[in-house]
Each structure stands twice: as structure tokens, then as C-alpha cells.
């Protein structure tokens, strides 16, 4: 054991980790301490800046409730959520890519019949979403559950407006048959700001960053024997496509949104390609 010095700061802290510590925890914490100390030395952090950082983290914790998770939002705008997602969801060429789950997924959405609508408030431009769930060989995946959710025409999820929107507005679960096909009606989603009335929104403003996400439809696709896919499809011409505040866009997830002269105004075809488990 040695006294603390500026030069050997990280080594001194990490030398205290005991032999009984969980090896993975010891590895992760030692690396975290090394990087934090290197960062602090690189920017020569002032006492005032550190006090500000502590106040920021305190406010981030204080605004959290069962419905609001400001730390995840912080991770999202720092690109950390997408980095963790990328590391944990490396997939072979041709498989559908993952992206962030986001805070607005609600388990237990209504199971709906193929072709049914998820839009219950009658607002927005109607869109037919359809395609297939396939394996890497292009064979249909039967029994795939497609859990979908989107914002409404005003850019809010039902859970953000429980007094205004019908419960389960723009949500539903569809299960594929033997042909792997799915179809449902929703609205062409619109871009919206992430909740920006807290410390994370304030930080975005101070950094000269906007809080918007480009318009997207969320999906969680699961099937027995396959790795679940958590992803979105994005509307191609959205002005925020290349500046998503949470970095969730991947080129392969930009879907066609075609204008059609039918009951629906738009059609968005997209196939999901699943990877076997293990
Ligand atoms: C969303 O797409 O629902 C979302 C993702 C990350 C942060 C906020 C919202
Ligand atoms: Fe979203």
C-alpha cells in the first residue's frame, strides 16, 4: 500500500482492490479508474468543474422516477447506449441490425390480427407496414412475434400522454404464420424531441445540440430458436436522419415509405432477417 500521488493516482487506487473481489468487477473498475484518471489529467479538471459535474449527476438522479430514467437518456446522448448495443449485437452480413430500445417500450401490448391497425386516435397519415420475417437462408420464420410501437402524429407516445391518447395507441403485437409474412396499419411516424426538460436536455442545449430523433417505427422481433431483434425502421427523407440525438440510425434500417393511392396513404415494406441462437 502506498500514499496517493498525482503521478501514480490510478495505480494507487487500483492496488486496493482485494483478491476476493469478483474478477470481472475488478477488471471493469480498474479500467474505469484508469480512464477516469487519464481523462481528469488530460483536461486538468478544475474544482469548479468537478463541483458542476457532481451537481449535474445529482440532478440527473433526482429527476428519475418509475416513468423517467434520466441516466439512460444521458447514456443515449453520449452514444454509450448505441456502443453497448453494437458490442452485444454483432451479427453476420444480411441479418437485421439492432438499435436502441428507448424508454417507451411497454410490455404486454395487445395481440392483434394480421393487417389490423395500431393507430387508435385517428390522427396522422395512415401507413401499411408489411414484409417477411426470414432466417439467414431466406426461409420464412413462422411464429415470430413482432412487437411494434411508435409516436403519434404529434410526436408523443401514448405513455407520455395518458390523459390524451387512448391506452395502447400505436402499439401492438403480431405473430407470423407459416409464410413468415406480417402486415399492420399504423401512421407514418414523425420526428420528435427526446424529453429535454431535465439536466440532459440542458446539457444538449449547452453543447449546441438539438434533442430530435428522426421519425421511426420501433420493433422487437422474437421467435423460438432465434436471437431477438430490437430495432427501428426510419423514414428516409427525415431532416434528422444524420443527426439523431441518440445515434440510433443505421443505413440498413432506413426503409422505403412509398406514397400509394389506396385506403392507406403510405406503404413501408421491410423484411426482418433473424440469426439463430447460440
Ligand atoms: C425512442 O426512440 O423512443 C427513444 C430512444 C432513446 C431516447 C429517447 C427516446
Ligand atoms: Fe422512439
Q: Are 3 and 9 spatial neighbours (Cβ–Cβ below 8 Å)?
A: no
Grid coordinates of 267? 406503404
Ligand 1 site-directed mutation target among 68, 70, 74, 76, most atoms within 8 Å of CB: 76
**Local structure of 254: helix, strand or coil:** strand
**Local structure of 66: helix, strand or coil:** coil
What percent of the chain is predicted at pLDDT more than 90?
96
- Conformational region of residue 168, where left means phi above 0, alpha means psi within -120 to 50, and beta covers everything else: left
The mean pLDDT value of the chain amounts to 96
What percent of the chain is predicted at pLDDT more than 70?
100
Grid coordinates of 201? 436536455
| Ligand 2 centroid distance, CA of 56 (Å) | 25
Residue 120 carries which DSSP code?
A: -
Residue 39 sits at φ, ψ, to 5 deg, of -60, -45
The pTM of the full predicted model, rounded to 2 decimals, is: 0.94
Q: Please state the atom number of ligand 1 nearest to the C-alpha of residue 100.
A: 5
Q: What is the pLDDT of residue 1?
A: 74
The residues lining ligand 1, judged by C-beta closer than 6 Å to any ligand atom, are: 73, 76, 100, 102-104, 194, 213, 246
Q: Are 274 and 223 spatial neighbours (Cβ–Cβ below 8 Å)?
A: yes
**Whose alpha carbon is nearest atom 3 of ligand 1?**
102
Q: Which helix (H) or strand (E) holds 186?
A: strand 181-187
Specify the residue for cell string 409474412.
Answer: 181
Please work out, in degrees rounded to the nearest 5, the angle formed at the alpha carbon of residue 45 by the alpha carbons of 41 and 51. 140
C-alpha closest to that of 18 among 10, 8, 29: 29
| Ligand 1 centroid distance, CA of 77 (Å) | 10
| Ligand 2 centroid distance, CA of 150 (Å) | 6
Ligand 1 site-directed mutation target among 248, 249, 250, 253, most atoms within 8 Å of CB: 248
Annotated domain spans of the chain? 1-45, 95-193+210-273
| Ligand 1 centroid distance, CA of 97 (Å) | 17
Q: How does pLDDT run across 9-59, given as a tens digit for each residue?
A: 999 999 999 999 999 999 999 999 999 999 999 999 999 999 999 999 999
Residue 71 carries which DSSP code?
A: H
Q: Which fold has domain 95-193+210-273?
A: Protocatechuate 3,4-Dioxygenase, subunit A (2.60.130)
For the residues 192-199, what does the mean pLDDT come to? 97
Q: Are 231 and 219 spatial neighbours (Cβ–Cβ below 8 Å)?
A: yes
Whether residue 135 is predicted with pLDDT greater than 80 in this model: the reply is yes
Residue 271 CA neighbour count, 13 Å, CB half: 14
**Whose alpha carbon is nearest atom 5 of ligand 1?**
102
Q: What is the pLDDT of residue 264?
A: 72
Whole-angstrom CA distances from 101 to 28, 104, 105, 217 are 24, 8, 7, 11
The number of beta carbons lying within 10 Å of the beta carbon of residue 254 is 19
Q: What is the pLDDT of residue 105?
A: 95
| Ligand 1 centroid distance, CA of 101 (Å) | 7
Amino acid at each position: 500500500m502506498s500514499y496517493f500521488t498525482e503521478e501514480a493516482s490510478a495505480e494507487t487506487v487500483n492496488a486496493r482492490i482485494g483478491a476476493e473481489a469478483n474478477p470481472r468487477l475488478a477488471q471493469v473498475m480498474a479500467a474505469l479508474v484508469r480512464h477516469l484518471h487519464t481523462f481528469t489529467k488530460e483536461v486538468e479538471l478544475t474544482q469548479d468543474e468537478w463541483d458542476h459535474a457532481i451537481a449535474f449527476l445529482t440532478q440527473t438522479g433526482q429527476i428519475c422516477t418509475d416513468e423517467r430514467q434520466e441516466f439512460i437518456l444521458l447514456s443515449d446522448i453520449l452514444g454509450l447506449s448505441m456502443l453497448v448495443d453494437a458490442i452485444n449485437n454483432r451479427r453476420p452480413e444480411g441479418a437485421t441490425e439492432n438499435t436502441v430500445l428507448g424508454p417507451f417500450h411497454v410490455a404486454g401490448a395487445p395481440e392483434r390480427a394480421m393487417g389490423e391497425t395500431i393507430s387508435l386516435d385517428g390522427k396522422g397519415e395512415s401507413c401499411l407496414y408489411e414484409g417477411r420475417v426470414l432466417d439467414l437462408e431466406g426461409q420464412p420464420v413462422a411464429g415470430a412475434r413482432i412487437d411494434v410501437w411508435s409516436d403519434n402524429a404529434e410526436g408523443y407516445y401514448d405513455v407520455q400522454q395518458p390523459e390524451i391518447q387512448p391506452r395502447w395507441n400505436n402499439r401492438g403485437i403480431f405473430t407470423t404464420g407459416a409464410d413468415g409474412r406480417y402486415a399492420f396499419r399504423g401512421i407514418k411516424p414523425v420526428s420528435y424531441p427526446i424529453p429535454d426538460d431535465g439536466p440532459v436536455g440542458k446539457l444538449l442545449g449547452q453543447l449546441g445540440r438539438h434533442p430530435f430523433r428522426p421519425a421511426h417505427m420501433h420493433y422487437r422481433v422474437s421467435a423460438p430458436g432465434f436471437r431477438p431483434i430490437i430495432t427501428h425502421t426510419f423514414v428516409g427523407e427525415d431532416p434528422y436522419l444524420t443527426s439523431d440525438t441518440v445515434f440510433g440510425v443505421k443505413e440498413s434500417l432506413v426503409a422505403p415509405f412509398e406514397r400509394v393511392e389506396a385506403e392507406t396513404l403510405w406503404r413501408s415494406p421491410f423484411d426482418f432477417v433473424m440469426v439463430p441462437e447460440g
